[in-house]
Amino acid sequence: MGKALIYEIIEKPVSSCVIALCSAVWLYIQKKNVGYADVGMSYDLVVTERQHWRIITSAFSHISILHLVFNMNALWSLGVIEQLKNVGLGVEFYLHYTLVLIILSGFLVLSLYHLLIHRFKFEYYRRVTAVGYSCVVFGWMTILSVKQPSSKLDLFGVLSLPISFAPFESLVFTSIIVPQASFLGHLAGIIVGYSIGWGLIQGMTNYWAIVFLGWTFVACIYSLKCTSSFPMPFLEIEPVSDPSLSQLGLLAPELGSTQMVQTGSIHGSDLV
């Protein structure tokens, strides 16, 4: 007989909180009729228009219920990581490196878009908009496959995958079930996951996690203030201009503190 749900929630506090958060965000998106363009991450929006806050909002946002269910089911199974303190994992490790996975996998996806756009001239990737928690899910699959290769990943209570192959098996499975699934997003999660699992990225302590989280929060709030109409009366950004340029007539007399750039139509969307 399995454990009562309440005990499993207590044993997986971080996973439970993330699942609750993603589910609440999904409900809000459905109620407010929010779309990919509102919360998703694309190269043009994040890099060109500097809407850096989208790296965070895209990770916790799901538009499709199937996408949400698949990601949260996999995340619940991966919550076993929070109980493996004896092999160097545990709740603290899980909390620290979840933040790392969210940020670094987002940056890696944007870097891959940059390469495809500027090196291979695939302009399509400028406006491909990605949403979802899959980067983090695939990252944790990969870390667990390195740290605990004998484990299994249970999906929907009917499918049990050897964790050593789970990232790549899940990549194929997701592509079949959810055709819009982002190959680049999942690949980014796997790459960052191996980097953490093999010790190429390490050294996150409570202190550095708080510092990392603090600067991420500041950067997101600043970016949100500068690039959106979201009301933040507690934060005002004063315009900075060179008086000499004004005398030369190079500045418009009524230049505001920020300039809103209207985004083009979304040409594609990826479920990450």
Residues identified as active-site:
134, 186
**Cβ contacts of 47-51, under 8 Å, gap ≥ 24:** 47/110, 47/114, 48/126, 49/227, 49/261, 49/263, 50/223, 50/226, 50/227, 51/223, 51/227, 51/228
Phi, psi of 161 (to 5 degrees): -110, 135
**DSSP strands (E only) in 17-156:** 128-131, 152-155
Q: What distance, in Å, lies between the first and last C-alpha atoms of the chain?
A: 34
Beta bridge partners of 159: 155
114 is written with which tokens? 């940059």
Task: State the pairing for strand pair 128-131/159-162.
Answer: unpaired
